[in-house]
Amino acid sequence: MKDTVAVQDASFKAEVLDSSVPVLVDFWATWCAPCRAIAPALEELATQYKGKLKIAKVDVDESQQVAQQFGIRSIPTLLLFKGGRVVDQLVGAMPKTKLEDAIKKQL
């Protein structure tokens, strides 16, 4: 069972901007090796912080509108939203500990 949420252009506002908990949005693509490399860590964090944080995945090939709206130039790019606003940005593959540090700052 996956705890991450797949989000498209149409569901972005409801799932991310209107979320009652902070949301870490992973902008990724199926062909992106670094994106696949951090996916297991994101799954673990989604399970670990269930109820306190939501982890959403936006496939930039399928949801170009949202990717453009937030100026996503390289992937993976992770944006942390709180109260509908971007509060942190992480670019590139990184260890789970670095992702977790960013999350903890917002909880």
The answer to whether residue 4 is catalytic is no
Buried b (16+ CB within 10 A) or exposed e, 47-80: eebeeebbbbbbbbeebeebbeebebeebbbbbb
**Residue 58: which of 100, 21, 11, 19 has the closest Cα?**
11
Nearest to 25 by CA among 86, 73, 96: 86
d(C-alpha 68, C-alpha 43), whole Å: 25
Would you call 32 a catalytic residue per the annotation? yes
Catalytic residue among 7, 32, 60, 67: 32
From the candidates 25, 35, 72, 90, give the one annotated as an active-site residue: 35
Q: Looking at the annotation, which residues are catalytic?
A: 32, 35
